[in-house]
Amino acid sequence: MRLEGKAALITGAGSGIGRAVSILFSREGARIAASDLSTEAAADTVRSIRDEGGTAVPVAGDVTNGEDARRMVSDAVSAFGRLDILVNSAGVTSRNALREGASPEDVWDRVIEVNLKGTYLVSWHSIPEMEKAGGGSVVNLASTMGLVGYPPGIGGGFNPYPPSKGGVVQLTRTLAVDSARKNIRVNCLCPGFIATNMTSGLTADPDTLAYLESLHPMGRLGRAEEVALAALYLASEDSGYVTGAALTVDGGYTAR
């Protein structure tokens, strides 16, 4: 098992990619602190891990709140005695950031706050704990939309999601350079369109789904489990000489 004995904090663990990462990392030997804004969702992921014989604790909190972020990390360290891995998977899009009717400015603020500030805050509190443990790995969830713009008809030029994920890519690079001599690697994943609850608002329409599939050379959307496998590579010693990377998991989307 590639993560035997490691302690991992995973945000957004209650659904989608975060849940898939939590379950896979547990199967690979990691002890999981599963964080989510929804206490019920975090607890459900923990139950799934424990049902398979893994070790996990729920850590509820809001990644945009500095005290919550500090407590998440503190609770993970209290539970496992150390922190080796952080996966910043908590995220929102403009479609699900706030209730319908919110102003464009409020949506912008919320998306940037969750996707970029949340990644910053949890990393801020996690990296010193990794340094105490002798090293570690941070895996941030960015997006292909952090590398290229939205396709026509999907997001629009004022959509906050691409800037938020572009910020994650740059934060990843900056943290990687700063943390390299501490034996801490920092990388990010840039998934294409993945079939999760986050994209369900798009994929529910057959025509939109067919359009999105046509944009990926492999002719389909990705699965959360496929992104989790890439996260496993970045979290494990298999990627021991990889830091500051933005790894695309996009079925060829950005290769077009």
**CA–CA separation, 121 and 67 (whole Å):** 9
**CA–CA separation, 171 and 186 (whole Å):** 9
* Burial class of residue 152 (count of CB atoms within 10 Å of its CB; 0-12, 13-18, 19+): exposed
Alpha carbons within 13 A on the beta-carbon side of 120:
16
161 catalytic, yes or no? yes
Token digits for 26?
Answer: 């547990």
CA angle, 9 as apex, 25 and 58 as ends, to 5°?
95
**CA–CA separation, 86 and 73 (whole Å):** 9
Stated as kind and residue range, the H or E segment containing 139 is strand 136-141
Catalytic: which of 161, 211, 241, 253? 161
**Backbone angles phi and psi of 123, in degrees to 5:** -65, -40
* Of 142, 25, 133, the residue nearest 83 (C-alpha): 133
Catalytic site positions? 161
